[in-house]
Amino acid sequence: MINTRWFSPLDSTTTEIARYSQAILPFLHKHFSLGLVSDGVDDATAFQCENPVVGMEPINIYNIGNSHLHCSILRLSMQKPGVVILHDVSLFELALAYARKHADFPLRDLIIEEHGFYAVKAFDQIFSGSAYEWCGRSQADYDNFVTSYPLFQSFISNARGIVVHSDFALKRVKKVYRGPVLKLELPYAVPSSRIPLRQHEEPCHIVFCGHAGPNRRLREFIQAWAATSQPDFFRLSLYGAIDKADEIMALAEKLGVAELVNIIGFVSEEQLDSALSDSHMAVNLRYPTMGETSASQLRYWSKGLPSIVSDIGWYSELPHDVVMKVSPKREQQDIISILEQFISGGHPYYDYGVNGYKHLSEKHSIERYVSRLAEHVAQIEKNRFRISEVDERLIGFLGAMCDELDDSVLFENVINKISETFNGIEQVQSDR
């Protein structure tokens, strides 16, 4: 087994990525010698290894997502390259949080490097000063920026290898990264119990869970819901981190549906599972997309819950019979149409939940995920030894040709070029 250190948020009450790590850790122990599991916050123990394999340097696996919770992990990944499990291909929120914590972090330079002068000009129109205070005019300004200028290339350039969870992310990463990249379906533990049998009844309980940032379209959903013929046919419950909850309730009050909305926030896993089982439908809109696979969607499927999603990114890759897709260009019209048909009972929407449960069972196995991850890391480790062998031989050979120590600098580009060639070979091998 390969000696490995696993870096990820670990508090499952704060993020779906932590839930993902907690779910797969028992399976990781079957395929890896885990020397450390850490969220990266404690500098003193970040790179310690409890059970090192003799003669083998541990390989670090970093889970990186678009949240301030990954700041410490990002810092460690830049200090010591490893394998990156990239949960999002737009890391702007992470980069912004990191820059606010570390004054010497060259955020504007990275934006210029990845996207050019016009990108940093657009950035300066919505954030100002050394603390990067918000100065944009509207949410649309922010949405347009993160959609046009996804920031992630600088954070993966030195990675030994990358894992992504969607074709959307795979295509974006391969455009800018030459090393080995593997796409895996995000894993989820399928419950052994049967999914609830749902019936058409009033009121219809709609549920949302997760981090309700601006791109989750809750305001837009509430506006469409309020425009239906019978808004009081539905109830909406919100679980998780609900940004600007007071503004959401003010909008609901203005539209006359405030009494039908219940903001609950964080609850235990058992309470959330119970709430999903008792619900009739989930709302899981995301626009703009950050390229992420939705762990919330996997949870909805595990309960056989029909879900409304945005037809973009990973969601566009899904079969049409496992989710109810809403076009971002016709968002309000599509949502109203779905809700009206729910009211009338004229469409077998609950079939989407049943089909989603089957899709989850067939495509998102934890055992298969960890097994393929182990194969990917093993190949990366094998190539790492091969490259280091070549580098050591070259250094010895070229060193013998140099009369002065400074002369060896002349050959630095040659060594780097050969190492890059090996990375290119790794890329080809991972594509097969």
Going residue by residue through the chain, which has 432 residues, state the pLDDT in tens, using 9 for 90 and above: 788 999 999 988 778 899 899 999 999 989 998 888 899 886 545 555 555 555 568 899 999 999 999 999 999 999 999 999 999 998 999 999 999 999 999 999 999 999 999 999 999 999 999 999 999 998 889 888 988 998 999 999 999 999 999 999 999 999 999 999 999 999 999 887 788 888 888 999 999 998 887 789 999 999 999 999 999 999 999 998 888 899 999 999 999 999 999 999 988 889 999 999 999 999 999 988 866 789 999 999 999 999 999 999 999 999 999 999 999 999 999 999 999 999 998 778 899 999 999 999 999 999 999 999 999 999 998 887 555 544 455 555 555 555 554 454 455 455 555 555 555 555 555 555
- CA–CA separation, 61 vs 142, rounded Å? 31
In this structure, which topology does domain 2-188 adopt according to CATH?
Rossmann fold (3.40.50)
In this structure, which topology does domain 204-363 adopt according to CATH?
Rossmann fold (3.40.50)
Does the fold of domain 204-363 match that of domain 2-188? yes
- CA–CA separation, 208 vs 211, rounded Å? 9
State pLDDT tens for residues 112-141. Answer: 999 999 999 999 999 999 999 999 998 889
Domain boundaries, the chain: 2-188, 204-363
| Verdict on whether the full-model pTM lies above 0.85 | no
- CA–CA separation, 196 vs 303, rounded Å? 7
